Amino acid sequence: MDLAPISRTAISDTIFVRLVEEILTGRLPAGEALPSERELALTLQVNRHAVREALKRLQQAGLIRISHGGKTRVLDWRESAGLDALTGLAVAGAIPTRQIIGDVAVMRRSIAADAARLCARHATPEQRAAITAAAAAYPVAGDLAAVSDADLTFWTAIIDGSVNIAYRLALNTLVAAYDEMGREAIYALGAAEFADRDAHIALAAAIAAADEDAAYRLADDLLTRFVTACQAGAEGED
């Protein structure tokens, strides 16, 4: 393994990112044993405590398995990692960022459309009122930051109204990934969806009326716009 030394001012975050890139690019393949903490500390010119903290984070991310008294081995990230690996994949260049954004858009459509359906069924009167208010406050036009913030507020209210904790945690992960990959560029790509105030208002009305079928259909139609934009962008790069 050929790793360049890390400056003394770096912390465990830097070590973590360096090793994530090595694993996700395949330079550290699945099944390979990592050097010992002592060897890594000497190679990277850092203290063992920083190495130990980075390795703990790698294990929590599902990228390595630490065996006390044995070798620490690299895992196959496709089998062991979670959604938190999305950002690392983009940074490492293991998978093109545009492909990751497109895959996330498809996942987002599936989750959010179903969340809208569940929200129409389960939301409390207070939650329905919050969704209606979020749609009414949606900007008619304006800068991208204002529109993206309004869209996030709107969908967060719907996810919360779906009463599905897994969907809520997935939303947190996707938002964090978008922020790391550059939310501004992503929202610009999906402008046809994010800037459509009327579509958000119509979806809110369906949820307020407890119309599950309409809520699902309207959400799916709206979210498909971003998926289509991602697919068109990918074709344009071929």
**Residue 23 belongs to a domain:** yes
| Structural contact between residues 4 and 43, judged by C-beta atoms closer than 8 angstroms | no
Identify the pLDDT of residue 7: 53
User: Which domain does 43 fall in, by range?
Assistant: 8-74
Identify the pLDDT of residue 9: 45
DSSP 27-87: SS-TTPBPPPHHHHHHHHTS-HHHHHHHHHHHHHTTSEE--TTS--EE--HHHH--TTHHH
Residues whose CB is less than 8 angstroms from the CB of residue 103 and which lie 6 or more positions away in sequence, other chains included: none
User: Do 144 and 43 lie in a common domain?
Assistant: no
Phi-psi region of 66 (alpha: psi -120 to 50; beta: other; left: phi over 0): beta
**Residue 85 belongs to a domain:** no
Identify the pLDDT of residue 2: 67
Count Cα atoms within 13 angstroms, Cβ side, for 198: 1
Residues of the chain with pLDDT under 70: 1-2, 4-10, 233-238
| Domain CATH for 40 | 1.10.10.10
Identify the pLDDT of residue 237: 56
Q: How many domains does the chain have?
A: 2
User: Do 210 and 130 lie in a common domain?
Assistant: yes
**Residue 79 belongs to a domain:** no
Q: What is the CA radius of gyration of the chain?
A: 21
| Domain CATH for 137 | 1.20.120.530
